[in-house]
Every structure is written in C-alpha cells, then in structure tokens.
Amino acid sequence: MRATVAAVDLGASSGRVLLGSVGDGKLHTEEVHRFPNGPVRLLGTLHWDVLALYREVLTGLRLAAELDSVGLDSIGIDSWAVDYGLLDARGALLGNPVHYRDSRTEGITPAEGLYELNGLQFQPFNTMFQLMAEPLLEHASQLLLIPDLLSYWLTGERGAEYTNATTTGLIDVRSGRWSPELTRDLPSGLLPDLRHPGDAAGTYEGVPVTAVGSHDTASAVVAVPASTERFAYISCGTWSLVGVELDSPVLTAESKAANFTNEGGVDGTIRYLRNVMGLWLLQESLRSWNTSLEPLLKEAEHAQGSVFDPNDPVFLPPGDMPARIQQWCGRTMTRPEIVRSVLDSLAIAHRDAVADAQRLSGKEVEVVHIVGGGSHNELLCQLTADACGLPVVAGPAEATALGNVLVQARAVGAVHGTLADLRKLVRESQPLRRYLPR
C-alpha cells in the first residue's frame, strides 16, 4: 500500500507543509508551502500570531490536496512545545497564546521534588510555570497545546498529544499520565484526555487527522537515520536538543543537577536530553545586523572566536544578541568573530551534552547525528565532530517533518515496524553527509 500524507511542521522561525508519499519501502517528500513565523509584541507581552499560523496551515493543506490528485490519506501537526491556548466553556479562544520567550516567568524557581515526579529539566517557560503567571486561568475551561489547538480548529475534536504533553511538567514520568499531584491546583477538566502518536484525532474535510509526535523534537528523533542503537542526536534548529534515546527515565540527583530532561518519545521511548540555546544565537544576531548568514559563515572559518556559555539565561529573550555576546566575552568583536564564537561555543556545549548524556544514562554512543536546519551548517557540523571526537552524520534537515510523515504513514498502514524500520527508510532516501573528527 502507498499513502500520501500532509505534515504540518511549525518552527519558531518558520512553518512548512510537506506532502509525503510512503510505500513499497520508499519515502518521498515535497515541500508545498513555507511561511515565516515570529513573535509579536503586544502591550509589552510577547505573543504568537496563532490565527495567521492557522491560515497558513489551511493554505498549505489546500496546496497539498491540489497536488495530490488521488486524495490525502492523513494530516498530522507538530510544533514547538510548552505553549498553549486557553478555551472558554464554549470552546472559544481566550486571548492570544503567549510566546515562551516572554518575560512573565522570569525569576520563577522550581519546587522541591519536582524532578523526581516529572523528570523534566528546569526551564522557566515550561507550561506549568507559565500557568503560575497566567491571568486568564480562572476563566479557562480547557488548555490545548499549540498543535492540539490547530488540530481542534481543523476537526472540532480535542485531545492532548502525549509527547508534547510531557513538556508541560504536569505528566508523571513513571505512569505517563497527568499527575494528580502536579495538577491538583488547576481547574478540573482543564487538561484534555491524552492521545498517542498514531491515534486518530478527527477529520478535516473528510481526511483523517492523525496524532503524531506533536512535539517537534519527538518527530525529529523518529527521523534520525541511525543504523545502530548506539547513537546520540542533536536536533539543531532554533534550539539544539542534545541527547540519547532510552527505554526508561533517569531521575538521579546527578541527572537533575546536570539539567537533563526525560521527555516522552514516540513508541514509549524516553528522549533523554538537554536544551542547548542553539541557532537562536545566530538568528537573533542576524536580525540585529539585518543581514544573511552565508557570507559571514565563510569569513567565520578563519576568524578567532571566544567561548561563552550559550545556556546563560541572558541569551533567552529576544533583543540585541551581538551586544550580549560581546559583553559576556568581555571584548569587542567583528561580525565574523561573533559568528565564530557562537559556533565554537555551541560545538563545546554539544560535546558536553553528549558526554553527560552517556555518563548519566550509562548508554555509550559511537556516532552523533545532527538533524534539522543546523545540519546544513558545515562549519558547525565539523566543529561538533572535532569537539566530540566522534563521527557526525548530518541530515536530514527536515527531520521533524519526516518523522511526522512516517508516524502517519505507519498509522494508515503504508509502512510497518519499529522506529528502527522507520529510520532505515530515512537513511535510504535522504542525502546525508559524514564529518570525521580532525
């Protein structure tokens, strides 16, 4: 059987809709729509323009349907994690969703004992902390994470997809269900029933909508083209999500101190990883300079960088990134030097996270896979291989959308098997590049 599915993948800086065709051991994808995404500051609060995103999703689905004359078999949606819309009792959206980089959670500190319950690294923007600063909560009857919200608008059906729900901080990492203890103070009924990747999630214009790993990182990890179990991944885009895939969570005090997270993955796996600030540092620098990356990258090859801690919270909010980097490094730098500093610092942060993931989980790796937009950045891939002392396999850049496509294709019966089988399809269909440590 062959299936044609539409994957909607929303990233912090752009969204896209891909048409994926899967069957007879083959995987083919085509991008049918791409659009920019970004925050909108409104009366001092940073928001997402969620209606504009929904309109672009509709445009993408229309283009996908036009291209596929036989008819779509399924639609799946993923996006960044943690952010949400609140609905009133009639199901109408209360207020515009707030961006996780908004300052409303600044200064928040986690309660004692949280890590043991939810297994999540501390990030001030995790949904549970946003809810502590949420003025609309008392008026809300339900919360939907961004992909679930868009899915609701398409289908009229509500649910909470599991992989993304684990990023809220409200899921018990052992049971995989909403934690009665962690959700005690929330309005009852706020959190919808969980659904899992592969579950049916309603229909849009007669086409089934399928739950995928709706946390973008969960979908990206599905499409890591690994040929061995001994691999680490770096899902490298606005963030670098660096870690390993495990069968069960690591909840030790050392793991907590190292700020490693245990997020829910597809097929009951655990995504054991650390958030590294990622290409956001470059994206914000380029925005300040109002310039493009390519020429600067060439010059950065020979520039002298300084190493800084990319995970310092000073780099989290939008704003003048070059100024913050130079301040951190205590010197004035040219643009190529700043770019080089970012890449050197990310490579070292990648190395540290790969080393910590192995040490804390006991899982040893022999290869590092870089997927996502960052896999196109040759200098970053080489510097990461050098720092890790391990071969790096780069690609696919659209891993998230591919993981989304593959989970749908499996749900409709066009492909069978485990994650290893899905990964084999990616390996055999996508151009990959290998970097050896120097």
CB of 239 to ligand LFR, least distance (A): 5
Cβ proximity to ligand LFR, 275 vs 382, nearer residue: 275
Residues of the shown chain interacting with ligand LFR in the complex, contacts defined by CB under 6 A: 12, 80-82, 100, 215-217, 238-239, 241, 275
We find the least distance from the C-beta atom of residue 279 to ligand LFR, in angstroms, to be 11
**Lookup: tokens for 109:** 């500190």
Distant-in-sequence, close-in-space partners of 273: CB < 8 Å, separation ≥ 6: 217, 233, 241, 242, 243, 244, 260, 261, 263, 353, 357
Q: Which is nearer to ligand LFR, 80 or 152 (CB)?
A: 80
- Shortest distance, position 92 Cβ to ligand LFR, whole Å: 25
CB of 220 to ligand LFR, least distance (A): 8
DSSP secondary structure string, 165-208? HGGGT-B-TTT-SB-TTTTTTSPTT-SPPEE-TT-EEEEETTEE
Residue nearest to ligand LFR (CB): 81
Instruction: Tell whether the torsion through CA atoms of 324, 326, 332 and 335 is positive or negative.
Output: negative
Q: Which two tokens stand for residue 325?
A: 């980097």
Minimum distance from residue 238 beta carbon to ligand LFR (Å): 6
366 by DSSP, 3-state: which?
coil
Least distance in angstroms from the C-beta of 335 to ligand LFR: 26
Contacts of 392 (CB under 8 A, 6+ apart): 367, 368, 369, 370, 381, 382, 384, 385, 434, 435
Please identify, using beta-carbon distances, which residue of 238 and 404 lies nearer to ligand LFR: 238
Residue 141 near residue 189 (C-beta atoms within 8 A): yes
Considering only CA atoms, which of 264, 217, 274 is closest in space to residue 399? 217
Count CB-CB contacts under 10 A for residue 137: 17
Identify which of residues 200 and 258 has a Cβ nearer to ligand LFR in the complex. 258
- Shortest approach of ligand LFR to residue 21 CB, angstroms? 26
Of these residues, 9, 148, 216, 344, which one is catalytic? 216
For the CB of residue 70, give the shortest distance to ligand LFR in the complex, in Å: 32
Active site (annotated) includes residue 216: yes
Comparing CB distances to ligand LFR, the nearer of 123 and 183 is 123
Give CA–CA dist 358/140, Å, rounded. Answer: 42
Would you say 252 or 259 has its CB closer to ligand LFR? 259
Q: How far is the CB of 242 from ligand LFR (least distance, A)?
A: 11
Residue 312 neighbours by CB distance under 10 Å = 12
Query: What ranges in 28-109 are assigned the alpha helix state H?
Result: 50-67
Closest CA to 264 of 180, 189, 178: 178
Distance from C-alpha of 297 to C-alpha of 381, rounded to nearest angstrom: 13
**Residue with Cβ nearer ligand LFR (159 or 213):** 213
Alpha-carbon gap, residue 385 to 393, rounded angstroms: 9
Q: Please state the separation of Cα 367 from the chain's center in Å.
A: 21
CB-based contacts of 277: which residues, under 8 Å, 6+ apart? 239, 240, 310, 311, 315, 316, 346, 349
- In angstroms, the CA 415 to CA 425 distance is 9
User: Exposed, middle or buried, 216 (CB in 10 Å: 0-12/13-18/19+)?
Assistant: buried
Given the complex with ligand LFR, which of 93 and 316 has the nearer CB atom?
316
> Which residue, 318 or 391, is less far from ligand LFR as judged by CB?
318
The whole-angstrom separation of Cα 191 and Cα 102 is 23
C-beta of residue 150 within 8 angstroms of C-beta of residue 190: no
Provide the annotated active-site residues. 216
